[in-house]
């Protein structure tokens, strides 16, 4: 008996009852495509969450003074707080001896203001900061030039506007560079336009005006000594945790307290990402488990059909044995038939899964996990072998004399 | 026309006993059968139902093994063989013809005839050539691409005979081959067996019809698991009876 002949016989057996084989294949197909699609959904949502967190900046640590969570106007009193973020903190954190893993520190004062030019006006958030903020937050310029250290030192009233502010204030085609806008009651000159960045969670990062913190403090918040937030950028992703520890130690020393009692909220982007990753990996595992169950059900379908086939073809098995088919040949025939069904089901399932991942599912763009296709296909074949073995062995073990007598 | 003689009988049964347990009852299907069939013989084994002829046929066909006694097929002691070797014996030494034809459904006549060659590991081209030759011998080559359900009973049985001889076996074993056929077709099939025998093949035929047994050279009767009659109708090296132009009153001739 040659292998090719066995495959041909198995193929004939599988195609003898087309509807039944098709339904069996469908079971495997659904299982395999479910594995691929659900893992892709899990993977896609995990990547989306990570992208949103990355959008917050590159390797950043945010230090928030407590009670200033969110973007509340800096005008509300913080004087009751025992500790605040000051220029001294910025200088201490920028010291390469004390904080070797910190690349830059940007003080941030933020306030919500009405921005107007002529008749057009819009409510937006104004961020007063230093040039390093742009790098840390991954802001790029679409036009013009960034704010400079001189701008900060000289308290110049210059501003960068985001894409949303641009479209709210200017007609398309109008050049905003060099124009003077009114922020609150102060006039600022637009020196640059920020490139599109997209939303981070509920925050629209394009609805923003960035200006030197000195000018913002002078004209808008009135505070000259404290900041609502410090944006610390670590030297690398690997240095993120060390940098966060250094920030905590320095701030604790400065405020004569312990790290545990620090009056600031320190948000480490790396921690956020790893938390999000572990959440989404749990989610993906759950989805994968559901899909694996449907693949298992498909496998049981294969076994069920093969058992029916063996019973139905008992006489055929008897004839084959009478004309000299040895046990392994019968075993191979029915095993191949089961594997053939799961192979076709697996192949079609990969195809359907691949097509299925091109559609948005519940707002998530699925991203095929590279491992899921060989995994699902491999499991489908393993299922065919596993669930085909018992019926095939049953067929092969039939005594020819009993099989021939079977009606 | 004479069969090749090397002195070794095709079948040698020595006091073969076969008992079955049906529930708690022991059924003695064969109670000590001794039988020798020489090469080129055409033997009809007769008996009423329950006489043990089917059991004997299963043992001769290596589908079953005796409880006691010895069975040599073409000189080989079958009891010493394992399952794989028995498969090989069935494949190489024996050609089966059954009452209910036993062709594999949804498989062409040609593919059915190729089946034993397939399990013998013969290549596709040679398989086809040999199967076509076998179909030509039984005069049904023109139906080779038909499925069993497209063939009449007689045609199906011819295909089965072709399948039985395609491996050139030492023995063709036919179990009531005409049981499902009408008289005219039965005679055609028996004529085919007669010609095969004339060509040197050893044939053992199981039947309960005198009319069919009349085609054989030798008739063995079983009753209650024992051989009660063993009669040679024509010499071993003669042509089988009724192969010559059939006498008008052949039916029942010599059977009394």
Are the beta carbons of B121 and A16 separated by less than 8 Å? no
Are the beta carbons of A322 and B61 separated by less than 8 Å? yes
Residue B185, φ and ψ in degrees, nearest 5: -65, -40
Residue A56, φ and ψ in degrees, nearest 5: -70, -15
C-alpha triplet A361, A366, A371: angle, nearest 5°:
140
Are the beta carbons of A326 and B87 separated by less than 8 Å? yes
Mean pLDDT, to the nearest integer, of B88-108? 91
Q: Is the pLDDT of residue B254 over 80?
A: no
**In angstroms, rounded to a whole number, what is the distance separating the alpha carbons of residues A242 and A234?**
9
Query: Which residue among A5, A323, A327 places its CB closest to the CB of B116?
Result: A323
Are the beta carbons of B90 and A324 separated by less than 8 Å? yes
Write the DSSP string, B190-223.
Answer: HHHHHHHHHTT-EEEEEES-HHHHTTSSEEEEEE
C-alpha triplet B236, B237, B240: angle, nearest 5°:
75
Q: Quick one: pLDDT at residue B15?
A: 93
Which residues of chain A neighbour B96 with C-beta distances below 8 Å?
A: 322-323
Any idea which of A88-102, A230-244, B1-15, B215-229 has the lowest mean pLDDT?
B1-15
Write the DSSP string, A205-220.
Answer: TTSEEEEEHHHHIIII
Q: Is the pLDDT of residue B121 over 80?
A: yes
DSSP lists the bridge partners of residue A208 as A125
Cβ atoms of residues A186 and A157 within 8 Å: yes
Q: Quick one: pLDDT at residue B250?
A: 42
Cβ atoms of residues A65 and A226 within 8 Å: yes
Which residues of chain A neighbour B147 with C-beta distances below 8 Å?
A: none
Q: Quick one: pLDDT at residue A1?
A: 66
Nearest residue on chain B to A3, alpha-carbon basis? B121
| Residue carrying the six token digits 């059977």 | B255
Each of the 407 residues of chain A gets a pLDDT tens digit; together they read 678 888 888 888 888 888 999 999 999 999 999 999 988 988 888 888 888 777 777 788 888 886 544 333 344 444 334 567 888 888 888 888 888 888 889 999 888 899 998 888 899 999 999 998 988 888 888 888 999 999 999 999 999 999 999 989 988 888 889 889 999 888 999 999 998 877 655 678 889 999 999 999 888 887 777 888 889 988 888 888 888 889 888 888 888 888 877 888 888 888 888 888 888 888 888 888 888 898 888 888 888 988 998 898 899 999 999 999 999 999 999 999 999 999 999 999 999 999 998 888 777 888 888 888 898 888 888 988 999 999 999 899 988 888 888 77
Structure tokens at A126: 């104004």
DSSP lists the bridge partners of residue B25 as B22
* Residue ranges of chain A whose CB lies within 8 Å of a chain B CB: 1-2, 5, 9, 12, 16, 315-316, 318-327, 329, 399-401, 404
Q: Quick one: pLDDT at residue A355?
A: 93
Nearest residue on chain A to B119, alpha-carbon basis? A1
Collapsing DSSP to helix, strand or coil, B110 comes out as: helix
Which residues of chain B neighbour A332 with C-beta distances below 8 Å?
A: none
**In angstroms, rounded to a whole number, what is the distance separating the alpha carbons of residues A270 and A268?**
5
DSSP lists the bridge partners of residue A189 as A158, A180
Query: Which residue among B87, B104, B124 places its CB closest to the CB of A324?
Result: B87
Q: How far is B34 from chain A (nearest CA, A)?
A: 22
Query: Which residue among B64, B92, B107 places its CB closest to the CB of A401?
Result: B64
Q: Quick one: pLDDT at residue A200?
A: 59
**In angstroms, rounded to a whole number, what is the distance separating the alpha carbons of residues A27 and A304?**
12
Q: Which residue has the higher pLDDT, A268 or B221?
A: B221
Nearest residue on chain B to A320, alpha-carbon basis? B115
Residue A264, φ and ψ in degrees, nearest 5: -120, 155
Q: What is the dihedral of CA A24, A392, A333, A345, to 10 degrees?
A: 20
> In whole angstroms, what separates CA B232 from the centre of its chain?
18
Q: Quick one: pLDDT at residue A226?
A: 82
Domain ranges for chain A: 3-52+275-405, 67-262
Which value, in Å, is the radius of gyration of the alpha carbons in chain B? 18
Residue A78, φ and ψ in degrees, nearest 5: -125, 10
Q: Quick one: pLDDT at residue B219?
A: 95
Cβ atoms of residues A283 and A38 within 8 Å: no
Of B191, B161, B165, residue with least CA distance to B175: B161
Which residues lie closer than 8 Å to A247 by C-beta, 6 or more apart? A61, A63, A93, A99, A102, A232, A266
């Amino acid at each position: 008996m040659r292998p090719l002949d066995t495959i041909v016989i198995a193929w004939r057996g599988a195609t003898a009852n087309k509807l039944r084989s098709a339904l069996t294949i469908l079971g495997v197909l659904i299982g395999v495509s479910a594995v691929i699609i659900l893992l892709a959904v899990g993977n896609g949502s995990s990547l989306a969450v990570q992208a949103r967190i990355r959008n917050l900046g590159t390797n950043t640590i945010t230090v928030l003074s407590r009670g200033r969570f969110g973007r509340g106007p800096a005008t509300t009193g913080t004087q009751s707080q025992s500790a605040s973020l000051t220029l001294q903190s910025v200088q201490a954190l920028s010291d390469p001896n004390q904080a070797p893993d910190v690349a830059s520190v940007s003080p941030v004062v933020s306030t919500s203001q009405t921005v107007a030019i002529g008749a057009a006006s819009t409510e937006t958030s104004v961020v007063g900061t230093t040039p390093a903020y742009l790098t840390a937050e991954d802001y790029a310029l679409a036009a013009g030039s960034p704010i400079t250290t001189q701008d900060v030192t000289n308290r110049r009233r210059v501003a960068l506007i985001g894409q949303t502010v641009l479209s709210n204030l200017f007609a398309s085609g109008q050049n905003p560079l060099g124009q003077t806008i009114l922020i609150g009651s102060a006039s600022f000159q637009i020196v640059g336009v920020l490139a599109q960045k997209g939303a981070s969670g509920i925050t629209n990062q394009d609805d923003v005006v960035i200006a030197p913190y000195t000018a913002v403090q002078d004209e808008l918040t009135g505070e000259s000594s404290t900041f609502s937030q410090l944006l610390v950028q670590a030297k690398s992703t690997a240095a993120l945790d060390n940098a966060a520890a250094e920030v905590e130690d320095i701030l604790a020393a400065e405020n004569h307290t312990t790290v545990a009692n620090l009056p600031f909220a320190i948000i480490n982007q790396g921690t956020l990402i790893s938390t999000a990753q572990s959440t989404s990996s749990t989610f993906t595992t759950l989805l994968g488990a559901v899909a694996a169950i449907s693949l298992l059900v498909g496998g049981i379908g294969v076994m069920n059909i093969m058992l029916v086939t063996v019973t139905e073809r008992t006489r055929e098995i008897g004839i084959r044995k009478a004309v000299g088919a040895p046990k392994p040949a019968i075993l191979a025939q029915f095993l191949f038939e089961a594997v053939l069904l799961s192979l076709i089901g697996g192949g079609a399932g990969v195809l359907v899964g691949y097509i299925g991942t091109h559609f948005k599912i519940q707002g998530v763009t699925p991203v095929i996990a590279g491992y899921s296709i060989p995994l699902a296909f491999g499991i489908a074949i393993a299922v065919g072998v596993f669930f085909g073995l018992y019926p095939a062995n049953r067929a092969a073990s039939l005594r020819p004399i009993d099989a021939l007598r079977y009606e | 026309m004479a069969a090749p003689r090397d002195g070794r009988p095709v079948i040698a049964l020595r006091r073969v006993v076969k008992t079955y347990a049906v529930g708690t009852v022991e059924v003695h299907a064969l109670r000590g059968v001794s039988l020798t069939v020489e090469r080129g013989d055409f033997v009809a084994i007769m008996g009423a139902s329950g006489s043990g002829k089917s059991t004997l046929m299963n043992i001769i066909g290596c589908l079953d093994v005796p409880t006691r006694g010895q069975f040599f097929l073409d000189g080989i002691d079958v009891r010493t063989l394992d399952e794989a070797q028995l498969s090989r014996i069935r494949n190489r030494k024996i050609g089966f013809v059954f009452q209910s034809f036993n062709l594999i459904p949804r498989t062409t006549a040609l593919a059915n005839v190729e089946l034993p060659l397939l399990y013998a590991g013969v290549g596709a081209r040679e398989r086809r050539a040999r199967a076509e030759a076998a179909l030509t011998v039984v005069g049904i080559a023109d139906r080779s691409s038909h499925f069993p359900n497209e063939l009449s009973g007689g045609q199906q049985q011819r295909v089965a005979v072709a399948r039985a001889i395609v491996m050139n076996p030492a023995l063709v074993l036919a179990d009531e081959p005409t049981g499902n056929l009408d008289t005219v077709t039965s005679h055609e099939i028996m004529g085919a067996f007669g010609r095969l025998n004339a060509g040197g093949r050893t044939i053992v035929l199981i039947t309960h019809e005198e009319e069919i047994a009349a085609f054989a050279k030798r008739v063995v009767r079983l009753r209650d698991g024992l051989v009660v009659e063993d009669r040679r109708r024509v010499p071993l090296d003669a042509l089988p009876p009724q192969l010559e132009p059939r006498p008008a009153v052949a039916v029942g001739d010599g059977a009394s």
